[in-house]
Amino acid sequence: MALLRAILQTRTLQANPAPGFSRFYSHSSPYLVKVGIPEFLNGIGKGVENHAAKLENEIGDFQKLLVTRTLKLKKLGIPCQHRKLILNYAQKYRLGLWRPRAEPMKAK
């Protein structure tokens, strides 16, 4: 009985996290960045930033990039692995689990 009570108490504590803090999160940057298409692609890295000019011209708006489907990216000539990275990070960004860093990460 005491064990059941302890479990229920921990569930109620976990259900109400502090306001402004997500329960699931990755390492967040200490300060916010105004995010556009180039900043977003630079945050992803792995060669995706090479397509920044093409996406700026064709899509134009960062909010449109967040809802772009894979077929449109394919028609723009973006390789499969880069499309996959863009779509995965767009979903993480929409959910608030990831944001690009203010300064690009240095290669090791």
Using DSSP, state whether 90 is helix, strand or coil. helix
Q: Are 72 and 49 in contact (CB under 8 A)?
A: no
pLDDT tens-digit series, residues 49-68: 999 999 999 998 899 999 99
In this predicted structure, the answer to whether residue 103 has a pLDDT above a threshold of 90 is: no
Angle, helix 80-95 to helix 37-44, in steps of 10 degrees: 110
Q: Of 10 and 12, which is predicted with more confidence?
A: 10
Among residues 18, 22, 16, 14, which one has the least CA distance to residue 96?
22
Distance CA 60, CA 1 (A): 60
Of 20 and 38, which is predicted with more confidence? 38
